A and B are shown apart, each in its own frame.
Chain A
Amino acid sequence: MTKLMEWIFVAGALGAIWLALLTNKIENIFVKDYYQLLLFSPIIFIVLFGIYALIIVLYRVFTFNNCNEAADELQKEIQEAKVDLQRQGFYFKEH
């Protein structure tokens, strides 16, 4: 099953339950008391998920490791490499 099929399958199943509750095919007391909440629950869910995703992304952006040490180390190694390569007869092309 492709990821697309999985998503359609799960969305379809949840949608069917939602619709059945909304149209009172599955009768229960909760639906009567919280009809509005149920009606807008897909939108509420999407908005909440969006906020969650945004928080996660921003957190990960701000905690993204900058690797300054790795960059400094590399600069030193580049100089070291140039000296050593020239010593071994490597000719660096001028440009």
Chain B
Amino acid sequence: MASVDKYSILLPTYNEIDNLPIIIWLIIKNMNASGFSYEIIIIDDGSPDGTLEAAQQLQKIYGEDKIVLKPREKKLGLGSAYIHGIKHATGNFIIIMDADLSHHPKFIKEFIETQKSHNYDIVTGTRYKGTGGVHGWDFKRKLISRGANLLTQILLRPGVSDLTGSFRLYKKDILEDLIKSCVSKGYVFQMEMIVRARQKNYTIGEVPITFVDRVYGESKLGGSEIVQFATALLYLFATT
């Protein structure tokens, strides 16, 4: 597969000592099989559980050209983690994904092929379309998720089915531009990114993904997440 494109996979981590070796193994396996050129940039925000030491071991196994370590002293937010990673990225495309095994690297190949087919600026994974879906959610969680999604679709008409997903491929310069225009923190940051992308007329492709909710560790959806979401929705409703 002759291609000059290179894909920098950004993995922000915080206390992912159990997941990190597995996700790296899966990325390496799937990316080597795909034939695309890539690197993995691990941005660990001072995890007390030894995630960085595990990352160093992995770097020894797979090499410094494949695994790049760019740790930071403490937790500084997702947007700044991406900025930090991009600064050191040598690829012209950036892939962002969660390190907690909820996103499977086998989909990266589809992301890349979808991007190439239409020269999209962004390709986003969607849990809400086609063969996409979620494992490990109960009725209440599904109801909240589907309800929030429909409300967002009605109010913002974003043209994208999954706004809060964080498994995406971006052209590098476009990701940089979007991060600069976003003010949200936490998981609603992903929603603002994709809504602003639409506002700026960037082209967006979608790939259905399966989302397997955290195998190790716990995932949460509490009152504060819902308040954050509602606030972000109203903010975007009034400003975009």
Contact = CB atoms under 8 A, between A and B. Distances in A.
Contacts of A66: 133-135
13 contacts: A2-B239, A56-B150, A61-B142, A67-B211, A71-B136, A71-B212, A77-B22, A81-B21, A81-B22, A81-B26, A85-B61, A89-B61, A93-B53
Given A60-B128, A64-B137, A81-B21, 4 more contacts: A3-B156, A3-B157, A61-B143, A67-B210
Interface of B is mostly: helix
Interface in B60-84: 60-61
Interface in A65-86: 65-68, 70-71, 74-75, 77-78, 81-82, 84-85
Contacts of B104: 70, 74
A41 B21 CA distance: 60
Given A3-B156, A74-B101, A82-B22, A65 B142 contact: no
A88 interface: yes
A71 B135 contact: yes
A4 B237 contact: yes
A61 B148 CA distance: 12
Contacts of A70: 104, 133, 135, 210, 212
Residue from A70, A88, A91 with most neighbouring chain B CB atoms (10 Å): A70
A30 interface: no
Interface of A is mostly: helix
A51 interface: no
Contacts of A95: 17, 49
Contact of B135 (A2, A56, A68): A68
Contact of B146 (A2, A57, A67, A88): A57
A78 B146 contact: no
A67 B240 CA distance: 34
B131 interface: yes
A85 B101 CA distance: 16
Contacts of A68: 135
A92 interface: yes
Contact of B150 (A4, A7, A53): A53
